[in-house]
Amino acid sequence: MSDAGKSTSKRLGFAGWFAIAVMAAFLVWAGWYGLHAWNALDGVEVSTAGWIFIAAGVIFTLVLGGGLMALVFYSSREGMDR
């Protein structure tokens, strides 16, 4: 018999809440650090080539992340990760 259709609801334990708190702290720290780094760059000019490479890096990262997520969903749907 398969448990695929059944939903089990479990409460999040201490370890789960601790992990969420640590990740939230990392997010706040990254935002703070990014803001201070951005403000420290006052007067720095980025060339056209720099903007092109920044845009290419963002696009490449999004395509790579989307492709990996597609592979995860595909393998899950095809039953390859059981």
User: Domain for residue 3, yes or no?
Assistant: no
For residues 12 and 20, give the distance between their C-alpha atoms in angstroms, rounded to a whole number.
10
Domain of residue 70, residue span: 48-82
Q: What is the predicted pLDDT for the residue at 42? A: 86
Determine the pLDDT at residue 1: 47
Q: Give the model confidence (pLDDT) of 14-72 as tens digits.
A: 999 999 999 999 999 999 999 999 899 888 899 999 999 999 999 999 999 999 999 99
Q: Is residue 1 part of a domain?
A: no
* pLDDT at site 80: 76
Number of folded domains that form the chain? 1
Q: What pTM value is reported for the model?
A: 0.54
What is the mean predicted confidence (pLDDT) over 2-19? 78
Residue 70 CB partners (closer than 8 Å, separation 6+): none
16 vs 74: CA distance, rounded Å:
28
Confidence of residue 10 (pLDDT cuts 50, 70, 90): confident
- Residues 6 or more apart whose Cβ sits within 8 Å of residue 54: 46
pLDDT of residue 4: 57
